[in-house]
A and B are shown apart, each in its own frame.
Chain A
Amino acid sequence: MKAAITVKNKKKPRRLSQRLQSIGAVFLFFLVWEAVVRIANINEAFISTPSSAIAHLLFAQPDANYHWQKNISVTLYEFVLGFLFTAVGGTLIGILIGWSKTIQKAVMPLFVMFNSIPMVAIAPILLIWMGYGLKTNILIAFLASFFPMVINTSAGLASVEDDLLDLVRYLNGSKWQTFWKIRLPSALPYIFSGLKICTTLSVMGVIVGELIASDSGLGYVIVNAQLMMDTPPMFASLIMMSLLGWGMFLIVSIVERLAMPWAFKDEIQ
């Protein structure tokens, strides 16, 4: 019994050491990977070592030029724009739908239905309509992440407690006041969790667009590297893509803290 009590009390203060442990575990994983590939002497056409991938990213290679700067900036541009369109458009339309119960009833099932179509399947149709290039990839990224955003936002708006709404109605709150003071703040957690999901989805959309048809960007590097049986740039591109996704995730988290400081009160103490 005594052991059980100490276990319970131990839960809070282990945060920093736990974090260090996690970083150590990840580091160990890459170390093992590096060691196995080197010791077994596996060809780079099959799998690359982590160090070789990073080297390809940082230093010019004698046998090939991957134009990192250009390709990274293309992917970054597509990703940021696609994500921004989703963040703004998805939230606005989610609010529009959440505004009235009738619209919600009429449109929501449509959105849920669209959400069950894998949006990447639309990519070939977009290629016919728009040709390949930046605009198409931005649109694919937007479509891949748009519907979850809308659904999350309107679900958040619908999540308000009815009693609270009744109270405000009783106090003669206008529809605007109800929205700004009650519905929007209580929808914020949903909106931000939607945004976080969308960072991943829009990176995926951009990549799929670039994999299928493009002449620049990190996805293009990957396809090209596959044709050349050259795995290090593939992993290097993956590292860059992950960094882009994490960066956007971080930005969203920071904005989340600024937008709803009350949710993080406990952590600061």
Chain B
Amino acid sequence: MGKAKQVRVTGRVQSAVLRFIQKNGISILTVIILLIAWQVLVDALKIKKYILPSPKLILNTFIDPRLAAKNKWWRHIFATTSGVLGSFGLTIVAGVAIAVFLTWSKTANRLVMPILVLFNSIPKIALAPLFLLWLGYGVFPNIMIAFMVAFFPVVINATTGMQAVDDDLLDLVRYLNASKLQIFLKIRIPNSLPYIFAGIRTSATMCVVGVLVGEFIASKRGLGYLLRDAQAFIDMPTMFACLVVLAILGVSFFGIISLVERIVMPWRFTPANAGE
């Protein structure tokens, strides 16, 4: 019986792999062909590595122990990741808390919401140098820059979601003597989750951009710093390697967000709604 179970499990894994290949086969193939073409072209045309490095050279910056040690990958990846996660966490906590406050009090909503909308439409990244003036160098100012850039979409979306509750539903619950807290926990917050996640998706990208720009302008750590440092030495392979790392970080960041979305709002991902 143990064997039958094992077979079933491997069978399931196999079919999952098959399905994955079936779904993404063409795109995986495209990526592989592009990489090979890139390598062949760079070799054939003898393009200098400070103009366009080949994929092999880029990979080498991770594998070659001497190069990898020089670049201190873990240190920089850790700095950038902690900056992004720190600002992201702060964005969500502050965003949702303020949204609850704004939905709770109508006056606050009327006073604050227009200001939030205004700031949302301003290119706040331009104020990054101001944060350096205020807070100095380091991971913390980068977190604050990213927070400033990414904060507004989450608040605005969360507030909109909490207010976009069906009036009839609110009437019903009020009729049943629900407290304000209950209305929030059972109705408003679940209702706002799709909105919040839409905001989170926008702000996730912005967090990365904010941290990177902070690291560009002034920092001694992080992938943004490494990019600038490599730029000074025209070390193209390292710069491209930074892009690869950033892409991997970005994709896994988004993957985790999608996963959390599925866990938090299982009702949106039932087979009936799978098309959404």
Determine whether the beta carbon of A120 is less than 8 Å from that of B171: no
Residue of A nearest to B175 (CB): A1
Determine whether the beta carbon of A207 is less than 8 Å from that of B130: no
Smallest CB separation, B2 vs chain A (Å): 39
For the complex, is B194 an interface residue (Cβ under 8 Å from A)?
Answer: no
Known contacts A116-B250, A116-B251, A226-B129; A25 and B121 CB within 8 A of each other: no
Determine whether the beta carbon of B125 is less than 8 Å from that of A207: yes
Of the candidate stretches B154-162, B177-185, B208-216, B263-271, the one touching chain A is B208-216
Chain A hits for B29, CB < 8 A = 106
Chain A hits for B114, CB < 8 A = 21-23, 25-26
Chain A hits for B125, CB < 8 A = 204, 207-208, 211
For the complex, is B31 an interface residue (Cβ under 8 Å from A)?
Answer: yes
Determine whether the beta carbon of A102 is less than 8 Å from that of B26: yes
Chain B hits for A113, CB < 8 A = 247, 251
Chain A hits for B217, CB < 8 A = 211-212, 223
Determine whether the beta carbon of A110 is less than 8 Å from that of B30: yes
Chain B hits for A252, CB < 8 A = none
CA distance A105 to B27 in the complex (A): 7
Determine whether the beta carbon of A212 is less than 8 Å from that of B133: no
Smallest CB separation, B46 vs chain A (Å): 18
Determine whether the beta carbon of A121 is less than 8 Å from that of B130: no
CA distance A5 to B165 in the complex (A): 15
For the complex, is A263 an interface residue (Cβ under 8 Å from B)?
Answer: no
For the complex, is A88 an interface residue (Cβ under 8 Å from B)?
Answer: no
Known contacts A25-B111, A46-B134, A102-B26; A118 and B208 CB within 8 A of each other: yes
Smallest CB separation, B187 vs chain A (Å): 15
Chain A hits for B253, CB < 8 A = 116
Determine which of B112, B127, B246, B254 lies in contact with A25 in the assembled complex, contact meaning CB atoms within 8 Å: B112
Known contacts A118-B250, A121-B224; A107 and B121 CB within 8 A of each other: no
Chain A hits for B133, CB < 8 A = 45-46, 226, 229, 231
Determine whether the beta carbon of B126 is less than 8 Å from that of A106: no
Chain B hits for A222, CB < 8 A = 126, 129-130
CA distance A117 to B227 in the complex (A): 14
Determine whether the beta carbon of B246 is less than 8 Å from that of A118: yes
Determine which of B110, B121, B246 lies in contact with A121 in the assembled complex, contact meaning CB atoms within 8 Å: B246
CA distance A36 to B114 in the complex (A): 20
Residue of B nearest to A206 (CB): B123
CA distance A123 to B236 in the complex (A): 13
Residue of A nearest to B207 (CB): A118
Which residues of A in the span 117-146 have a Cβ within 8 Å of any Cβ on B? 117-118, 120-125, 127-129
Interface residue tally for chain A (C-beta within 8 Å): 56
Determine whether the beta carbon of B118 is less than 8 Å from that of A26: yes
Residue of B nearest to A237 (CB): B126
Chain A hits for B243, CB < 8 A = 117, 121-122, 125
Smallest CB separation, B117 vs chain A (Å): 8
For the complex, is A109 an interface residue (Cβ under 8 Å from B)?
Answer: yes
For the complex, is A7 an interface residue (Cβ under 8 Å from B)?
Answer: yes
For the complex, is A8 an interface residue (Cβ under 8 Å from B)?
Answer: yes
Determine whether the beta carbon of A218 is less than 8 Å from that of B126: yes
Determine whether the beta carbon of B123 is less than 8 Å from that of A125: no
Which residues of A in the span 241-261 have a Cβ within 8 Å of any Cβ on B? 241-242, 245-246, 249
Known contacts A117-B247, A245-B123, A249-B121; A106 and B26 CB within 8 A of each other: yes
Determine whether the beta carbon of B27 is less than 8 Å from that of A110: yes
Determine which of B24, B231, B250 lies in contact with A117 in the assembled complex, contact meaning CB atoms within 8 Å: B250
Chain B 1-38 against A: per-residue CB contact (8 Å), 1 yes, 0 no? 00000000000000000000000101101110010000
Determine whether the beta carbon of A211 is less than 8 Å from that of B231: no
Known contacts A25-B115, A46-B134, A204-B123; A125 and B240 CB within 8 A of each other: yes
For the complex, is A4 an interface residue (Cβ under 8 Å from B)?
Answer: yes
Chain B 125-141 against A: per-residue CB contact (8 Å), 1 yes, 0 no? 11111101110000000
Determine whether the beta carbon of A110 is less than 8 Å from that of B31: yes
CA distance A131 to B244 in the complex (A): 23
For the complex, is B259 an interface residue (Cβ under 8 Å from A)?
Answer: no
A–B Cβ pairs within 8 angstroms, 13 of them: A107-B27, A110-B31, A113-B247, A117-B243, A121-B246, A208-B216, A211-B126, A218-B126, A225-B129, A238-B123, A238-B126, A238-B127, A242-B123
Q: Can you name 4 extra interface pairs (CB under 8 A) apart from A23-B114, A242-B123?
A: A105-B26, A121-B242, A219-B126, A245-B123
Instruction: Point out residues on B near A: beta carbons under 8 Å.
Output: 24, 26-27, 29-31, 34, 50-51, 110-115, 117-118, 121-123, 125-130, 132-134, 167, 171, 205, 208-209, 212-213, 216-217, 223-224, 227-228, 230-231, 234, 236, 239-240, 242-243, 246-247, 250-251, 253-254
